[in-house]
Amino acid sequence: MAFESITDVQIKDLLSSPKKITNPGARLRNIEGRDQVNYKAIATDGSGHEFQIYKRQNTREGMEDDFSCGISWVAANGETLTLKRYNGSSHSHKNQIEDELLTDTCHIHMATERYIKANKKPESFAVEADNYSTIEGALHCLVTECNISGIVTTPDNAKLF
């Protein structure tokens, strides 16, 4: 992996850079019991950065809370680094370094320099989320928090009037 030297500042810069979806009409596909849409995005700040964005939903009965939306940076050599991932509440997550357990709650994974240097999965650190509870809400948070345009999303509990 070519990401050993990436810093938290660089990760933050990648996440905050303005991005635009280049394939807004991406099609939903069912892959092994889950619906998935894969988007591509480019930075609009002239940096040339490319990103992959996905939305996955388990389609098995009773698994509505088993979903994930994420954004990965595509490095110049073609390798990808998951920067952020918004998960549903279908499972618990343990932050290994902190020895902290998040139990059955929506949570957001984030790539961190600390986890990379500890030779852990870069986005292994997660925090509890209270700003979404559905896949559509998770996608809205991802698009809003990661400065992505070119796709229409809806927040959870959106007020129509």
Q: Which two tokens stand for residue 14?
A: 């990648």
**How far apart are the C-alpha atoms of 2 and 149, rounded to whole Å?**
28
Burial of 14 (0-12, 13-18, 19+ CB in 10 A): buried
**How far apart are the C-alpha atoms of 146 and 19, rounded to whole Å?**
8
Q: Which two tokens stand for residue 138?
A: 């998770």
pLDDT digits 0-9 by tens, 137-159: 999 999 999 999 999 999 998 54
pLDDT in the model for residue 161: 44
Q: Is the pLDDT of residue 43 over 70?
A: yes
pLDDT digits 0-9 by tens, 6-31: 999 999 999 999 999 999 999 999 98
Rg (CA), the chain: 16
**How far apart are the C-alpha atoms of 86 and 30, rounded to whole Å?**
20
Q: Which two tokens stand for residue 10?
A: 């660089």
Per-residue DSSP letter, 3: -
Q: Which two tokens stand for residue 80?
A: 């990808």
- Its pTM stands at 0.93
